Copies of this chain bind each other. A is one copy, B any other.
Amino acid sequence: MDCGDLFNPDCPTRLVLDRIADKWTVMLLVLLSQGPMRFSALKRATGISQKVLAQTLKRLERDGFASRAVFPTVPVTVEYLITPLGADLAQTLEGLRLWSERHIGAVLAAQRDYDAAA
């Protein structure tokens, strides 16, 4: 891994990591990559508080990972959709998901050993 620029706070990898590294972003990314969803559906599915959900969706939109579709019904209906960029990122995250499922056992075992030694 070329990491010279990792020391730069503006390094692409750090920027992306900082963006997806909060509690809910990846989860919403994955959810939306399965299909469009409305605000309340996302809230129900995830259990996120309204404030944080709104916040996270706004950032997703700002970064170009999701888009908003507003239907002028009464009351208003809003759908969130993943963008091609967001779908591409979700696809890439798949590698990390596979790694996690394969190796989580090893990680948890290491933690147990470590804690037992202490």
Interface residues of A (CB under 8 A from B): 1-3, 6-7, 12-23, 26-27, 30-31, 33-34, 45-47, 61-64, 85, 88-90, 92-97, 99-101, 103-104, 106-107, 109-111, 113-115
Contact partners of A113 in chain B: CB under 8 A: 64
Name, among A16, A30, A111, the residue most crowded by chain B CB atoms within 10 Å (CB to CB): A16
> What distance in Å separates the Cβ of A34 from its nearest Cβ neighbour in chain B?
7
- Can you name the residue of chain B whose Cβ is closest to the Cβ of A46? B7
Copies in the complex: 2
- Can you name the residue of chain B whose Cβ is closest to the Cβ of A3? B30
Closest 10 CB pairs of A and B: A64-B110, A21-B21, A12-B104, A16-B100, A12-B100, A92-B99, A62-B114, A3-B30, A13-B100, A95-B95
Contact partners of A90 in chain B: CB under 8 A: 1
> What distance in Å separates the Cβ of A111 from its nearest Cβ neighbour in chain B?
6
Contact partners of A63 in chain B: CB under 8 A: 107, 110-111
What separation, in Å, do the CA atoms of A22 and B13 have in the docked complex? 13
- Residue in B6, B94, B111 whose CB lies within 8 Å of A30: B6
